[in-house]
Amino acid sequence: MFADDDKSTEIKILVYNTHGLPGIFFEITQKFVFPLGDKTKQYELSLLQEDYAHHKKLISVIKSESKVFRGQLGNKFLCPICTGSGLTSIANLPQDWQIEVVNENFKTCSGWISG
């Protein structure tokens, strides 16, 4: 990301793991997760990890002028509950900023699904 002019700009960044798997895996209430969408309004850039099962509900409260980017799911394994890579980027930056998002899938995955 860069601004068109030469002056420096300070931005606030939120990075948060939403634990966005269906309730059969984790017991997370809507009261806990979905205020997070509203919280992104306070930051110029938000990176939300594991944004799977509740993505539509999560972004329903995001500002209409915000830009939302989602990574694509790699073709390494079939995941019936996954939509995209699980990483959602939300930008609340000035209109004259140019944003380029590049998502690269890893060849291996570690963790409880395929660790």
pLDDT digits (tens, 9 = 90+) for 65-78: 899 888 765 545 55
Nearest CA to 85 out of 114, 56, 52, 107 is that of: 52
- Provide the residue count of the chain: 115
Summarised one tens digit per residue, pLDDT across range 77-113 is 556 656 567 788 999 998 888 888 877 766 666 555 5
Distances (CA, A) of 14 to 18, 24, 90: 12, 27, 9
pTM of the model: 0.72
Q: Is residue 38 helix, strand or coil? A: helix
